[in-house]
Amino acid sequence: MLESYQLDAGSAVSTMAHAELQCSSQPSISVTRRQSILFVTSEISDYIKAGGLGEVSAALPRALRHHYDVRILIPGYRQVLSQIGAVEEVARLSASYGIPACSLGRAMTRDGLIVYVLLCPELYDRDGSPYVDSFGVDWCDNDIRFARLGLAAADIASGNGDPLWRADLLHLNDWPSGLASAYLAWRGQRIPTILTIHNLAYQGNFERSRLSHLGIPDAAFHIEGVEFYGKVSFLKAGIYYSSHITTVSSTYAQEITRPEFGCGLDGLLRARAEEGRLDGIINGIDESWDPSTDPYLVSRFSAENCRGKRANAESVRRSFGLALNTGPLFAVVSRLVHQKGVDLAISAAETIVSQGGQIAFIGQGEPRFEAELQALAGRHPGSIGVKIGYDEGDARRMYAGSDFLLMPSRFEPCGLSQMYAQRFGSLPIAHRTGGLADTIEDGVNGFLFGEPSLNRFKDAIKRGLDTFRSRSRLIAMRRAAMKRPHGWDRSASRYQEVYERACHAAFA
């Protein structure tokens, strides 16, 4: 039976009343407090980021913190510990099966968000990204590294972490935290858990022989459990055992229930959708994405006065070795992987150049794409510029200076780049899929094409080039893109609704 904290409407915190979740399994008490959410993530852009998850992990808890006591849990990677400042050890978490013991540290971001850090040097004190070594190869102990994360989340939620705090609800993100809800279920603990899928294609699948090391009961190695085509799947565990699933756009929430986009999990996701336990909530972008204040820009501008775009375009041309002209400038800011349709952008490049356009590419990822891009730039000096690597300042100036952003992703759960581009007055040319379909209005604030083929992509590019030649139309579309609401407020309210529903379901 659900027993909730009683709300004291006259208390000093009554402004938070609307955020009170009916989800505590503890007895009624008369003290009003904000409900506590543990946001479990494998990256946060304050300290370490491999992609869009890092940005959402930094922004969403901040959008929710006015309503909840939100805290983050993250592995203590080398890059985190070198930047986070003072860490107070608050608990010792014991070893379990093949998962080593570790300490739980408590630290704070500069703006006061509490971050729990897993102090386990044998798992996290290394160079490289959260998931791969410096050669791009998966860490061979990723199963244990992220089982450690999931188990710690379950411990904190059940009151065995920080003695002064426990979580009323866990918000998990992607496969690295997927086991947390499973560990709770196997212990018989009914704590509401939300799993947000940022990308269904990354699933964390490991050999069956790892079961005992991960503390997974044999009985759970079943289609109704963690088993996925003969392997242990962390993502499937998260989907199967969590109270509620969200993903990062409405269109992607529908797409992943179909075999073409479901990555083998569409059956389970279809069942969750039919039970009313799968929702799509579009990401927002944070307030730093403002062309009138962004310190990375060479010149700042606004929807009302876009003249400053030109200086940013010049800066991009110089920095990418492009000829200084006034033709259309296209940008690609992307992880260089098949998902993002990099091959389509490479194939369309000559068409753009033949029409007087230029392209600046920045990205890193699969070596074959890196090599193809460098070869492409070599064939078109002055027209195509490529930087292999990751650079926040370059990316921001590219959004600010370009006229168009190419985003021919084959699938795109949400996509952040198209929203950054719109905010900075660059019109996205994108495949009508996932969050791209939900954030771009064709012919109004960007261009969409219906299938990820070169011909359809080239048609959309042609429409962009036609618009570029009609100054008034270009300016109107640019303005519409810049004014499109991109903030986190609406999405944060949707997460609040989902938290409420998950709590009711968990204790029904």
Ligand X SMILES: Nc1ncnc2c1ncn2[C@@H]1O[C@H](COP(=O)(O)OP(=O)(O)O[C@H]2O[C@H](CO)[C@@H](O)[C@H](O)[C@H]2O)[C@@H](O)[C@H]1O
Binding site as annotated, residues? 49
Position 333 contacts ligand X (CB under 6 A): yes
Q: At residue 380, what are phi and psi to the nearest 5 degrees?
A: -130, 60
**Which one of 35-43, 374-382, 408-416, 500-508 is the stretch in contact with ligand X (CB under 6 A)?**
408-416
**Cα–Cα nearest to 380, from 348, 428, 408:** 348
What are the Cα distances from residue 213, in Å, to 218, 242, 268, 371? 11, 22, 26, 39
**Cα–Cα nearest to 157, from 495, 506, 508, 488:** 506
Position 413 contacts ligand X (CB under 6 A): yes
Position 334 contacts ligand X (CB under 6 A): yes
How many whole angstroms separate alpha carbon 333 and alpha carbon 316?
13
Position 287 contacts ligand X (CB under 6 A): no
Position 395 contacts ligand X (CB under 6 A): yes
How many whole angstroms separate alpha carbon 470 and alpha carbon 492?
38
**Which one of 23-31, 46-54, 181-189, 264-272 is the stretch in contact with ligand X (CB under 6 A)?**
46-54
Could you say which of 23, 32, 48, 51 contacts ligand X (CB under 6 A)?
51
Give whichever of 16 and 436 is closer to ligand X, judged by the CB atom: 436
* In the complex, least distance from residue 301 CB atom to ligand X, rounded to whole angstroms: 19
Q: Do residues 321 and 380 make contact, with C-beta atoms less than 8 angstroms apart?
A: no
* In the complex, least distance from residue 146 CB atom to ligand X, rounded to whole angstroms: 17
**Which one of 96-104, 416-424, 425-433, 455-463 is the stretch in contact with ligand X (CB under 6 A)?**
416-424
For residue 136, what are its two tokens?
């791009």
Interface positions, 53-72, toward ligand X (CB under 6 A): 53, 55-56
* In the complex, least distance from residue 26 CB atom to ligand X, rounded to whole angstroms: 33
Position 377 contacts ligand X (CB under 6 A): no
For residue 44, give the DSSP letter: B
What are the Cα distances from residue 240, in Å, to 182, 337, 404? 8, 28, 40
Exposed, middle or buried, 12 (CB in 10 Å: 0-12/13-18/19+)? exposed
* In the complex, least distance from residue 285 CB atom to ligand X, rounded to whole angstroms: 9
Binding mask 335-354 for ligand X (x = CB under 6 A): x-------------------
3-class DSSP state of 32: coil
Q: Do residues 385 and 410 make contact, with C-beta atoms less than 8 angstroms apart?
A: no
**Which one of 68-76, 137-145, 313-321, 357-365 is the stretch in contact with ligand X (CB under 6 A)?**
357-365
How many whole angstroms separate alpha carbon 106 and alpha carbon 117?
6
Give whichever of 52 and 308 is closer to ligand X, judged by the CB atom: 52
**Which one of 107-115, 130-138, 148-156, 385-393 is the stretch in contact with ligand X (CB under 6 A)?**
385-393
Position 123 contacts ligand X (CB under 6 A): no
Could you say which of 390, 442, 443, 462 contacts ligand X (CB under 6 A)?
390
DSSP annotation string for 290-325: -TTT-TT-SS---SS--TTHHHHHHHHHHHTTB---
The residues that touch ligand X, with contacts defined as CB under 6 A, are: 51-53, 55-56, 198-199, 248, 283, 333-335, 362-364, 390-392, 395, 412-417, 420, 435
